[in-house]
Amino acid sequence: MSEKTLAQPLRASTSSSALLPLLRRLHFYIGLFIAPFIFVAALTGTLYVLTPQLENSLYAHQLFTDAVEPAKPLADQIEAAQKFADPGLTISAVRPAPGAGETTRVMFITPSSGPSESLAVFVDPGTLEIRGMLPVYGTSGVLPLRTWLDYLHRNLLLGDLGRNYSELAASWLWVAALGGVLLWATSRPPRRAKGRGQQILRQRTLHSSLGLVLLLGLLFFSATGLTWSRWAGDNISAMRAHFGWMTPAVNTSLLSGKPMLADEHAEHHAAAHHSMPGMKMPDGMTMSGSQHAMAAAAVTPAQFEGVVKAAREAGIRAAKIEIRPTTKADKAWTVSEIDRRWPTRVDSVAVDPANFRVVDKVEFAQFGLLAKLTRWGVDAHMGVLFGLPNQLILAAFGLGLCVMIVLGYRLWWLRRPAAAQGCHPAETLIYSWRRLGLSARFLLLVCTVALAVSLPVMGISLLVLLLIDAIRWQRAKKTVGGQR
């Protein structure tokens, strides 16, 4: 093809005829360069959602007990855990045994605890036997095996730098999914082919069919994954806060009635619940408002019984609860329902540990629609909503996505041009974009910039793809010019 022929479409081509080649080339680039990251995220996420039962088996001694004695007072259980761990450690949370045959978790903050990490001592509620001590992570309270898988899925064990990989995958997944559907809907492959063409047709049919089946799941994973991401997640949180879409949380202040907002992804942010050692006020002493705010109070095992009783009387019904104390004298303790298998068991109350008065309560029924959808989306993404069915569905989607990516690479390999042939200048993003009309180019540019600002990792990776594309464009032009 001559350079004159290459230039003609730039002057006279409809936007619709140029948009599909542009989309096809972008879909190809996502598949070639971004798909490996999506594959790793899908595979590690599948491993994570399939391991709760394995974790229960691996740590059965810590989690379960055969003792049949009636449960001792919660204060006695906490005292036993404190004696075993270290009396100087601060209690970060307590999770009473939810049922017979299960242990109580008393969690401590240690100097080596990372964000959302704590050290849990497992106590038999009937015999007060210490069943073990393990590090636990996050609101879900996962143990070492799943904590390792969680970090692997989220950041490849590389810390904050590694979080960019999962954000890259989530940023492009929805584009690849919707773009693939549009390409499938606007193209009609031949019904019959022979030899290599038949292999290509079969791979393409399998790839597109699987993509259609997984479409809703892919969009769900992309959306929920972005809310967890580092850069895009911050933008999403800012938008939700601006429009008042944040999840309500109990107000723990004992000095004011200001409303509070919760972060569903708090366990994934670098904010641990560390407490400062406190000092106990002598009996009968009172404090002014400023003194009350600056002073600290000791956390004693006896307080937990009263706080739990007040929470139960206030309507906290779930068997699985978490009591989170604080040494700040101007803050209330919180008691929260943590059974995420049921979408409505997320109520919480704030209780004053001094007089066991409930100072605030937030029920799931009070959540706005978007807050409810976010709560359900987070729990479903983690594989805890409704338990085993959620796990199996997520595993099916995760493995299906991995297979689809492999099929995509197989299709690319079958359709690759001969080494001596190289690529054609028309098979680039730049060439396809230049064929669009002026208004279409402007609209596409505005949308691209808006997405790049909202999803920064997508924006940076798009610049890299455009750089690769520009190099291919220049080399292809030289190759075509040299063949004239």
The residues, any chain, with a CB within 8 Å of residue 65's CB and separated by 6 or more, are 101, 102, 103, 124, 126, 127, 129, 131
Question: What tokens appear for 189 in the block?
Answer: 């492959």
pLDDT value, residue 344: 78
| DSSP letter string, 41-68 | HHHHHHHHHT-HHHHHHHTHHHHB----
Question: What tokens appear for 220 in the block?
Answer: 């769900």
Question: What tokens appear for 385 in the block?
Answer: 């909503």
Specify the DSSP element, H or E, that contains 323: strand 321-324
> Digits of tens for pLDDT over the chain (484 positions)?
444 444 444 444 555 667 898 999 999 999 999 999 999 999 999 999 999 999 999 999 999 999 889 999 999 999 999 999 988 899 999 999 999 999 999 999 998 888 889 999 999 999 999 999 999 998 888 999 999 999 999 999 999 999 999 999 999 999 999 999 999 998 877 666 667 778 888 899 999 999 999 999 999 999 999 998 999 999 999 998 888 888 888 999 998 655 565 555 554 443 333 333 333 333 333 344 444 444 567 899 999 999 999 999 999 999 999 999 998 999 999 999 998 887 778 899 999 999 999 999 999 988 988 889 989 999 999 999 999 999 999 999 999 999 999 999 999 998 876 544 555 555 788 888 888 889 999 999 999 999 999 999 999 999 999 999 888 878 777 766 655 5
pLDDT value, residue 430: 84
Residue 91 φ/ψ, nearest 5 degrees: -75, 125
Question: Taking the CA atoms of the chain, what radius of gyration do you get in angstroms?
Answer: 28
pLDDT value, residue 298: 85
Cα 379 from chain centre: 9
The residues, any chain, with a CB within 8 Å of residue 57's CB and separated by 6 or more, are none
The residues, any chain, with a CB within 8 Å of residue 97's CB and separated by 6 or more, are 71, 103, 104, 125
pLDDT value, residue 297: 78
pLDDT value, residue 247: 86
Query: What is the DSSP-derived secondary structure letter of residue 331?
Result: B
Task: Please choose, from the candidates 344, 346, 342, 345, the residue with its C-alpha nearest in 3D space to the C-alpha of residue 385.
Answer: 342
Question: What tokens appear for 137 in the block?
Answer: 């992570």
Q: Which residues pair with 324 in a beta bridge?
A: 334
pLDDT value, residue 6: 45
Question: What tokens appear for 143 in the block?
Answer: 């143990």
CB 174 within 8 A of CB 224: no
As a dihedral over the C-alpha atoms of residue 470, residue 475, residue 480, residue 484, rounded to 10 degrees, the angle is 130
> How far apart (Å, rounded) are the C-alpha atoms in residues 15 and 215?
26
The residues, any chain, with a CB within 8 Å of residue 287's CB and separated by 6 or more, are 281, 295, 329
pLDDT value, residue 242: 85
Q: pTM of the prediction? A: 0.86
Residue with the two structure tokens 């990490």: 117
CB 7 within 8 A of CB 142: no
As a residue count, the chain comes to 484
Q: In the Cβ-directed half-sphere of 466, how many Cα atoms lie within 13 Å?
A: 10
2-20 in b/e form (b: 16+ CB < 10 A) is eeeebeebeeebebeebbe
Residue with the two structure tokens 């999403």: 236
Domains of the chain: 3-49+155-233+387-482 (no CATH), 60-142 (3.10.450), 250-270+289-367 (3.10.450)
> How far apart (Å, rounded) are the C-alpha atoms in residues 69 and 57?
23
> How far apart (Å, rounded) are the C-alpha atoms in residues 400 and 177?
13
Residue 122 φ/ψ, nearest 5 degrees: -100, 125
- Burial group, residue 422, by CB count within 10 angstroms (0-12, 13-18, 19+): middle
> How far apart (Å, rounded) are the C-alpha atoms in residues 112 and 265?
22
Q: Which residues pair with 109 in a beta bridge?
A: 90
pLDDT value, residue 354: 93
Tell me the C-alpha to C-alpha distance, in Å, between residue 24 and each of 115, 124, 169, 202, 250.
42, 60, 19, 19, 49
CB 178 within 8 A of CB 214: no
Question: What tokens appear for 461 in the block?
Answer: 């990776």
